[in-house]
Amino acid sequence: MTEKQLHKLRRQDLLQLLLAQGKEAAQLQARLDEAAEELESLQDTRTRFIERMDDKDAQIEKLKPRLDEKDAQIEKLTARLNEKDAQIEKLIGRLNEKDARIGELTVEIEQYRSGEILGFEGDPSIDEVGQKLNAVLKAAQKAVAQYLDSTRTQGQQGQEERI
């Protein structure tokens, strides 16, 4: 929309435009909240997985004295344990990346909530507000899309690893 077209709009039209952008921002915030909930669910899954792995490790420790007589079986269990440790390390690395991303998103959310992200100084015009809000919404939409793609990809990889 050009500046001439913007000046031709009535106050009511400008307010409707701002209201529409506000609704879109609320929708994007809802999507971001959903993504945060999904990430929290993944963290819960991680915790349960680590507990299960600890239980498995405890079971392996109980079996070791009996398996001393069977070197071939000990080697097989050790190999499996090493694979699981590698998988755990891989999962921990991925979860650390997710934790870092959560931190970034939390900071970004706080910036949106506080208005810092818009960087207004003084009394901004409706045009400035509209432009900055547009830029913010595009950036948020892109971030959410990237996050969802990343989550889907990692979820698919996790499913493939389980198979």
CA distance linking residue 128 with residue 136, whole number of Å: 12
Round to whole Å and give the CA distance between 7 and 135.
20
Among 46, 9, 55, 22, which residue's Cα sits nearest to residue 134? Answer: 22
Residue 149: DSSP 8-state: H
- Would you state the structure tokens that stand for residue 112, as one six-digit string? 């949106």
Q: What does 97-122 look like in DSSP terms, one character per residue?
A: HHHHHHHHHHHHHHHHHHTGGGT--S
pTM, rounded to two decimals: 0.31
Q: Is the dihedral of CA 138, 142, 147, 153 positive or negative?
A: positive
Q: What is the pLDDT along the chain (163 residues), one digit of tens a residue?
A: 677 777 777 788 888 888 999 999 999 999 999 999 999 999 999 999 999 999 999 988 887 776 667 778 778 889 999 999 999 999 999 999 999 999 998 888 777 666 665 666 656 677 877 887 888 889 999 999 999 998 888 888 777 776 6
